[in-house]
Amino acid sequence: MLAFEAQTVVQLRLLKLARGGPAAQAEASQMISEKISASIEAAGSLMLGGSPDALVARYREHVAENSKRLTAPA
């Protein structure tokens, strides 16, 4: 399920980036920031004994937040 949800967000982001302009620049910056933050969060969770299932559940929350943000009316 995560793969499908993430692919939808990738599609939405690519559409936004393809439009260009300040909104695309902001999205690119946010995307990079989110990737770094998510990897740090995941590493910390696993180092503290978090389960892979919990990690996937957390990633799904992040993906859902991005999907909601990217589909909201401007």
Residue recorded with tokens 């302009």 = 21
Q: Do residues 62 and 34 lie in contact, with contact meaning Cβ atoms separated by under 8 Å?
A: yes
Express each pLDDT in 29-71 by its tens digit. 999 999 999 999 999 999 999 999 999 999 999 999 999 999 9
The model's pTM: 0.88
Task: Give me the phi and psi of 42, to 5 degrees please.
Answer: -65, -45
Distance between CA atoms of 54 and 42, rounded to whole angstroms? 10
| Contact yes or no for 13/27 (Cβ under 8 A) | yes
DSSP 1: -
Asked if residue 8 lies in contact with residue 67, where contact means CB atoms within 8 angstroms, the answer is: yes
Residue 74 has pLDDT above 80, yes or no: no
